A and B are shown apart, each in its own frame.
Chain A
Amino acid sequence: MTTEEVLTAPAANPPRSHAGFIKNNLREYGMLISLVAIMGLFQVLTDGTLLRPLNLTNLLLQNSYIVIMALGMLLVIVAGHIDLSVGSVCGFIGALAAVLMVEYGWHFVPTTLLCIVVGGAIGAAQGWFVAFARIPSFIVTLAGMLVFKGLTLALLAGQSVGPFPELFQKLSSGFIADPLGGDSLRSTSLVIGAVVAVLLVLFKLRARSQLVRHGMEAEPLVFFLLKNAVFAGIILYFSWLLASYKGLPNVLIVMAVLIVAYDFVTTRTTPGRRIYALGGNEKATRLSGIKTQRLAFLTFVNMGALAALAGLVFAARLNTATPKAGLGFELDVIAACFIGGASASGGVGKVMGAVIGAFIMGVMNNGMSILGVGIDYQQVIKGLVLLAAVFVDVYNKNK
């Protein structure tokens, strides 16, 4: 929208064309379309292996910890900071859990709780230096990255520690129970998928009718119906795929709950709104009576707790804590946020974008592995995709 258009715009909302709506929302749909296109591409290239029930299940398990951390990273990036330490914290918490459960024989419940508290405390320590001591987050978390990488080694004495109690493993490798029974198809999972799809459509319908009632601009009905039909269809299809293997993985439930919660917090609540304002213009936000330092501090506490949860999920998946766990995770997490449209200067980014970004990376990892592309060229291609995604963003913005 140019300035001239604004100056001559009439006071009332002008009628919007469908083409105009697409143009204004291209970014949001574009992300999703890219993910679908990439999945389609690999589905063809791998002769249908990508979406086999077994592979789809693996895809979700492999990316769960990246998605969980991307939720926290998005808030940190939106607030105008960065956290390079999440990979090391993730590894450190896995090691801590292993030592507590394997060497000291702790039960997995207190272990899990303690680990998440420790993660939050680590985030608080780094957040204090960033928010109150005003040291750039890049430096604070670079230091944290080294510190916790070292502490992981020290804690494990350079060894791998495992295996874990069976119940703890279920966090990553378990699937939800199936009381409804079924031989080849886990019908409970399918039912849950169907219920979620229906709830999603109902919820969206309600939100849309509220928009219309308040006289706000809502997306055209055609798009609305089409989009939600596609969403519901995808949910149903994927839950059918998963149900025909072992059902919904436990970690998928955890992930889904977190995604919904963080999407809600960022779009609908006052703390979420204030984080965006803080990243957009810290001075203006502070002069609006908002405690900006405390807010930045809390994004780091949250990040630490989520990194801890991701560390537990990762350790449970491998069924062992290794000194190399978490190596390089921070790069995938940060890349997911930027591919998902977050701005490096803060104030811009969406939870769903970061989740889609994480899955774009995940599908590429998985698809290229199936195709037998070496780890060397996988990295090259991922790097170029990150650059291309951000380039397209910046280009569109300047246009």
Chain B
Amino acid sequence: MQSDGNILEMRGISKAFHGVKALANVNLAVRAGEIHALVGENGAGKSTLMKVLSGVYACDDFEGEIHFEGTPRRFRGIADSEALGIIIIHQELALVPLLSIAENIFLGNEITRGGVIDWFAAYARTRELLAKVGLNESPTTLVDDLGIGKQQLVEIAKALSKKVKLLILDEPTASLNESDSDALLDLLLELKAQGVAAILISHKLGEIAKVADSITVLRDGSTVETLDCRSAPVSEDRIIRGMVGRDMAHRFPQRTPNIGQTVFEVRNWRVHHELHPEREQIKGVDLEVRRGEIVGIAGLMGAGRTEFAMSVFGRSYGQRISGMVLMHGQVVDVSSVRKAIDHGIAYVTEDRKGCGLVLEEEIGKNITLANLEAVASAGVIDAGREFKVASDYRAALNIRCASVHQQVVNLSGGNQQKVVLSKWLFTQPELLMLDEPTRGIDVGAKYEIYTIIDRLASEGKGVLFISSELPELLGMCDRIYVMNEGRFVAEFTAAEASQERIMRAIVNSGSSVHDH
């Protein structure tokens, strides 16, 4: 062991994607046998940093040095870091659902004798590992039959099978209930007692307070500070301040809101999970949006914001949906996407490429897709009218392209998003639901999108703005609802809202570990 006691040191790590800085000169030091929490807003660079560490981004793709157990290391792939005992467990678990626990644990690493898998040895070893993580299941059980919490434990057992020295957990408790979360945190403490160091990425400050020995705060791709919790506990205020403090001038257009009558209301909206109908995901949401108003919905990933928007938009998500949707005070039927569009609702999806665009098609054909009748008579498309519509939106939204006949797959993210916006504007909506409209878009294009949103509001449309980036909600919205675990847990006007208050509303409402 090193004299300074650090198992891992990352120094001066910088990484850019297509010229956009994701990490700038980040430093991280983890002491041997400690639990080190890594906190920061969505997009602060936590996951990117962990991908650098685990070798997902090869050593030539970033700047900086990684020292593990006192020696400089250069990883070309995950195999290199795993060989040294650095194991990462991603938020989306990497298990094969239709294989058994034992098969998953030894996948790619099978115990063989003469080239043939020795199942008896594998099952025996699996039983030992499951006992270590406190999971009472047979090694032959299919992973598919386990709950998400138990799957998490299988992932950890798999890590232990690889002689883990540094375990990285990316939001391990995000989808776990309270008792499963507690069990997981206890297991981390137990592993720590056996000398396994861990890096824990989490938004739940309560659980960080419970287990972390030190905390590193990331913001905008840089290290803000590292706090030591061993001598004196660090307050949540202290952590939140580190996470959010930043200059916010001139990133958003100047808004002069002109708010009118209520356009859109949702009353007591309830939605059950698409695959697990017994799980209620949206638990009685009430909301209203007025003419010319930009209303934000803040929340962490998994809070239920997308599920809420999609279920309102023609029941595109979930089942056993109940509640009322009103446009201009009249109850409307939004049971299909067509009906929702006809009532003046539009939804810009968070998954631009997967759900928003037909990538191989032309810009013009994408723009008219949701309102094809408007450029057709008796089912026959008028190519001239379609071209005119596409050209008008190209000019109005400043879509940069060689021609509207160009395939959207060749456009940059910002221009693709403008095509999606054009498509929905062409349906003449009165309410626009925008789900992460600036995700994966560079700063300049973001400003353009903000300007478009502002213009739509000033034209009298209602805008519902879902975002995981608090600064853009604060910069754009007239009112912000805070969502957590399927409920609105707070509502702020633009004047009241601040990052601290929103974060606190989320943290306090969560099923925090030490409440009971």
Contact B361 A277, beta carbon cutoff 8 Å: yes
Residues A114-140 near B (CB distance < 8 A): none
B117: Cβ under 8 A from any A Cβ: no
Are the CB atoms of A277 and B358 closer together than 8 Å?
yes
Give B396-429 as 1s and 0s: 1 = Cβ < 8 Å from A's Cβ atoms. 0000111101110011100100000001000000
Do A1 and B410 have beta carbons less than 8 Å apart? yes
Contacts of B401 in A (CB 8 A): 6, 9
Residues of B within 8 A of A398 (CB): none
Q: How far is the CB of B355 from chain A (nearest CB, A)?
A: 4
Residue of A210, A213, A269, A281 touching B379 (CB-CB under 8 A): A269
The answer, yes or no, to whether A289 is at the interface (CB within 8 Å) is yes
Q: Pick the contact of A347 from B356, B358, B387, B388 — CB < 8 Å?
A: B358
Of B380, B387, B388, the contact of A268 (CB 8 Å cutoff): B380
Across the interface, which residues of A come within 8 angstroms of B388, CB to CB?
214
* Residue B347 CB within 8 A of the other chain: yes
Q: Does B237 contact A (CB under 8 A)?
A: no
A346 (CB) vs chain B CBs: closest residue: B360
Please state if B410 and A3 are interface contacts (CB–CB under 8 Å). yes
Please judge, given known A-B contacts A214-B387, A269-B379, A270-B376, whether A281 and B400 are in contact too, CB under 8 Å: no
**Interface code A261-287, partner B: CB below 8 Å = 1, 0 otherwise?**
000000011110110110011011111
Q: How far is the CB of B421 from chain A (nearest CB, A)?
A: 14
Q: Tell me if A291 counts as interface (CB < 8 A to partner B).
A: yes
Q: Taking the nearest CB of chain A, how far is it from the CB of B18, in angstroms?
A: 9
**Provided the pairs A6-B401, A287-B347, A347-B360 are in contact, do residues A273 and B370 lie with their beta carbons within 8 angstroms?**
no
B429 to chain A, nearest CB (A): 12
Q: Does A288 contact B (CB under 8 A)?
A: yes
**Number of contact residues on A: which range applies?**
35 or more
Q: For B390, give the chain A residue with the smallest CB separation.
A: A216
**Given A2-B410, A280-B360: A271 and B337 within 8 A (CB)?**
no
Question: Does B381 lie within 8 Å of A269, measured CB to CB?
Answer: yes
User: Which residue of chain A has the shortest Cβ distance to B399 in the bound complex?
Assistant: A11
State whether A9 touches B383 (Cβ < 8 A): no
B499 within 8 A of A: no
**Closest A residue to B407 using CB positions:** A1
Instruction: Let me know if A348 and B410 touch, CB within 8 A.
Output: no
- B198-212 to A contact mask, C-beta < 8 Å, 1/0: 000000000000000
Q: Which residue of B lies closest to A264 (CB)?
A: B380
A372 at interface, CB cutoff 8 A: no
Residues of B within 8 A of A284 (CB): 349, 354-358, 369
Q: Which chain B residues in 324-357 approach chain A with CB under 8 Å?
A: 336-338, 340-341, 347, 349, 354-357
A215 to B337 alpha-carbon distance, docked (Å): 34
Contact A348 B360 (CB under 8 A): yes
**A150-194, CB < 8 A from B:** none
Contact A277 B410 (CB under 8 A): no
Hey, which chain A residues are within 8 Å of B402, CB to CB?
Answer: 1, 5-6, 9, 13-14
Q: How far is the CA of A13 from the CA of B361 in the complex (A)?
A: 19
CA distance A67 to B360 in the complex (A): 27
- Contact status A277-B381, CB under 8 Å: no
A217 on the interface (CB 8 Å rule)? yes
Q: Let me know if A3 and B412 touch, CB within 8 A.
A: yes
Give every chain A residue within 8 A of B411 (Cβ-Cβ). Answer: 3, 6
CA distance A397 to B186 in the complex (A): 53
Check A280 against B347 for contact (C-beta < 8 Å).
no
Residue of A nearest to B394 (CB): A11
Complex Cα gap A271–B376 (Å) = 11
Quick check: B403 and A287 within 8 Å, CB to CB?
A: no
Q: Which residue of the partner chain A has the closest CB to B388? A: A214
A7 surroundings in chain B (CB, below 8 A): 400, 412
Are B349's CB and A274's CB within 8 A?
A: no
Tell me if B313 counts as interface (CB < 8 A to partner A): yes
User: How far, in angstroms, from A11 to B365 measured CA to CA in the complex?
Assistant: 19
Q: Does B373 contact A (CB under 8 A)?
A: yes
In whole angstroms, how far apart are the Cα atoms of A5 and B410 in the complex?
10
- Most chain B beta carbons < 10 A, residue from A1, A14, A211: A1
Near B by CB (< 8 A), chain A positions 298-347 give 347
A288 to B373, CA, bound (A): 12
Cβ of A11: which chain B residues have Cβ within 8 Å of it? 395, 400
CB distance from A289 to the nearest CB of B (A): 4
Indicate whether B510 reaches chain A with its CB closer than 8 angstroms.
no
- Asked whether B187 is an interface residue with its Cβ less than 8 Å from the other chain, the reply is no
Return chain B residues, CB-CB under 8 Å to A277: 358, 361, 365, 369
Most buried by A among B357, B403, B415: B403
Q: B340, B373, B379, B405 — which one has the most chain A CB atoms within 10 A of its CB?
A: B379
**Which of A5, A280, A283 interacts with B361 by CB under 8 Å?**
A280
Whether B314 is near chain A, meaning CB under 8 Å from some CB there, is yes
A216–B388 CA distance with the chains assembled, in angstroms: 9
Q: Which residues of chain B have C-beta atoms less than 8 A from A274's C-beta?
A: 369, 372
Cα distance A6–B373 in the bound complex, in angstroms: 30
Q: Could you write out 28 A-B pairs with CB less than 8 Å apart?
A: A1-B402, A3-B412, A6-B410, A7-B412, A9-B400, A9-B402, A11-B395, A214-B388, A215-B387, A216-B405, A268-B383, A269-B381, A270-B373, A270-B381, A273-B381, A274-B369, A276-B365, A280-B358, A280-B359, A280-B361, A283-B354, A283-B355, A284-B356, A285-B358, A289-B337, A289-B341, A347-B361, A348-B360
Given A1-B402, A3-B411, A217-B403; 20 other pairs, CB 8 A cutoff: A6-B406, A211-B384, A214-B387, A215-B387, A268-B380, A269-B376, A269-B380, A271-B379, A273-B381, A274-B369, A276-B365, A280-B360, A281-B354, A281-B359, A286-B316, A287-B347, A287-B349, A288-B423, A289-B314, A348-B360
Closest 5 interchain pairs by CB? A280-B358, A288-B370, A214-B384, A289-B338, A9-B402
